[in-house]
């Protein structure tokens, strides 16, 4: 779920989220940077090229259904549901990333290598089935059990916060309508056949699957790809429901002290670098070099030149239509030191307080502008509540090295995308 800083989908994520789910946001809604990151990653995946209107509708229906279960349970035992939610939310991004990477590996396999593609898609399915779904379904299933006054222990997450997926089958018997959207794409037999190595790859892009008393069944590669895609789209819908629940409940939970503060997920070096890249780009810099992770931080950043203040066009191509958006864009002049202080505050959760920081800044045309050197304990001790130039100027003497003077960079600003219209794609002859 780590986003490409140039991805157009990240720009459209929040407007699309509000357009789809704005009616579910409460007066207590609070969108934190963590939740925004989760939403952007989720929407980038569901809005990817090749998706259809039907895919998005399925995603939205699952999100609404899962959120409905969460809210129903919370109306009865709000604290209990919030605590189960808190057990898993800081691991969701990592689980989504693992599944996304497994999917990318499967898609990279050449189309003429059917045997390898089958094995990679079976692995992709197993990663989602074992690592992602038990995590994201846990608070939803638990809330559903509370709303139905179910005493079955299958509806109670394990000590690690995950749920056993056979609880989804038990939900079917308790639903008013026999359509458990949490279970779309789930097939325990396919997962078991691969996990227990009870499968045999055949000619003509097919595989024979067995699971104890089930099978043998012959599946084509296309059927397997379709199953993986259904599960992935549904998982994104459930993840969106978790984001909605977080937005509507985080402020209440914090005020009542029901759980300890929800931490940002523990990230690997590659993911921390992505977080730094995203933040530096947003604040007016290009990331040229990043080293020393995770114990210290050494950066080389380049400032950005001023661009042209004008709307930019964004086209999204889907399977059967394209959409055009106009994005109002302009550039604001900012002092480098002010932007760096903001960035360091955003990075505090990812580093030890004793971690050293050294940031070299160069201009967009490769001229040296200066260096900022400090440590995160100093940044934490500043306890800044605003980052205006006057406030920052008063604390600059606390840094070990600061030779940046009043050099500037330009920050690209964008307003919400304006939907212009769509047109059908003409099939190629």
For 177-188, write each residue's pLDDT tens digit: 767 899 999 999
Q: What is the rounded average pLDDT of the residues 242-257?
A: 92
Where is average pLDDT lowest: 217-226, 250-259, 312-321, 403-412?
312-321
Q: What band does 8 get if pLDDT is binned at 50, 70 and 90?
A: low
Q: For residue 420, give the H/E element and its range.
A: strand 418-424
Q: Which pLDDT does position 3 carry in this prediction?
A: 44
Please say whether the beta carbons of 53 and 79 come within 8 A.
no
Interhelix angle 92-108/33-46, rounded to 10 degrees, is 20
**Residue 383 Ramachandran class (φ > 0 left, ψ -120 to 50 alpha, else beta):** left
CB 184, CB 128: distance < 8 Å: no
Q: Are the C-beta atoms of 421 and 325 separated by less than 8 Å?
A: no
Rg of the chain (C-alpha set): 24
Return the SS3 of 167.
helix
**Tokens (6 digits) for 353:** 């307080």
Residue 273 phi, psi dihedral angles, 5° rounding: -60, -40
4 — pLDDT class (breaks 50, 70, 90) = very low
pLDDT tens digits, 84-105 = 999 999 889 889 989 999 999 9
Residue 336: pLDDT over 80: yes
Q: Percent of the chain, pLDDT > 70?
A: 92
pLDDT at residue 324 greater than cutoff 90: no
- Whole-structure pTM value: 0.74
Q: What is the pLDDT of residue 340?
A: 96
Contact between 366 and 323 under an 8 Å Cβ cutoff? The reply is no
Judge whether residue 74 has pLDDT over 60. yes
Quickly state the pLDDT bin for 2 (edges 50, 70, 90): very low
Whole-number pLDDT of residue 287: 94
Contact 168, 141 (CB under 8 A): yes
- First-to-last C-alpha distance (Å) of the chain: 36
pLDDT: which is higher, 334 or 260: 334
Q: What is the pLDDT of residue 15?
A: 81
- CA–CA dist 146, 48 (Å, integer): 36
Residues whose CB is less than 8 angstroms from the CB of residue 67 and which lie 6 or more positions away in sequence, other chains included = 24, 241, 244, 245
- Please tell me the predicted confidence (pLDDT) of residue 317: 63
- Whether residue 391 is predicted with pLDDT greater than 90 in this model: the reply is yes
Q: How far apart are CA 374 and CA 368, in angstroms?
A: 19
């Amino acid at each position: 779920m780590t986003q490409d800083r140039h991805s157009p989908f990240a720009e459209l994520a929040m407007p699309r989220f509000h357009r789809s789910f704005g009616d579910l946001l409460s007066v207590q809604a609070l969108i934190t940077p963590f939740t925004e990151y989760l939403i952007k990653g989720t929407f980038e995946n569901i809005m990817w090229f090749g998706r259809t209107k039907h895919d998005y509708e399925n995603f939205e229906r699952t999100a609404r259904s899962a959120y409905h279960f969460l809210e129903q349970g919370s109306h009865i035992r709000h604290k209990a549901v919030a605590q189960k939610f808190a057990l898993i939310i800081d691991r969701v991004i990592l689980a989504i990333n693992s599944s996304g990477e497994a999917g990318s590996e499967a898609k990279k396999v050449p189309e003429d290598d059917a045997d390898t593609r089958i094995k990679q898609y079976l692995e992709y399915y197993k990663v989602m089935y074992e690592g992602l779904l038990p995590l994201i379904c846990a608070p939803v299933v638990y809330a559903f059990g509370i709303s139905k006054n179910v005493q079955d222990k299958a509806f109670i997450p394990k000590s690690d916060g995950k749920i056993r997926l056979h609880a989804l089958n038990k939900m079917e018997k308790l639903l008013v309508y026999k359509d458990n959207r949490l279970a779309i794409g789930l097939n325990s037999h396919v997962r078991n056949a691969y996990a227990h190595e009870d499968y045999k790859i055949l000619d003509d892009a097919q595989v024979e699957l067995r699971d104890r008393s089930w099978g043998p069944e012959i599946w084509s590669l296309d059927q397997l790809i379709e199953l993986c895609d259904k599960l992935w789209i549904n998982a994104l819908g459930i993840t969106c429901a978790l984001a909605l629940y977080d937005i509507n409940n985080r402020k209440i939970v914090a005020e009542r002290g029901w759980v300890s503060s929800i931490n940002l997920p523990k990230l690997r070096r590659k993911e921390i670098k992505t977080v730094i890249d995203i933040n530096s780009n947003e604040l007016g810099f290009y990331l040229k070099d990043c080293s020393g992770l995770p114990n210290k931080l050494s950066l080389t950043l380049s400032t950005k030149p001023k661009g042209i203040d004008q709307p930019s066009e964004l086209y999204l191509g889907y399977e059967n239509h394209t959409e055009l958006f106009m994005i109002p864009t302009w550039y604001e002049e900012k002092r480098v030191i002010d932007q760096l202080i903001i960035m360091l505050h955003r990075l505090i959760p990812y580093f030890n307080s004793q971690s050293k920081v050294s940031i070299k800044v160069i201009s967009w045309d490769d001229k040296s502008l200066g260096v900022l050197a400090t440590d995160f304990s100093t940044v934490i001790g500043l306890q800044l509540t605003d980052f205006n130039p006057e406030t920052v100027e008063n604390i600059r003497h606390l840094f070990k090295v600061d030779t940046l003077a009043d050099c500037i960079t330009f920050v690209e600003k964008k307003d919400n995308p304006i939907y212009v219209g769509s047109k059908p794609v003409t099939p190629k002859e």
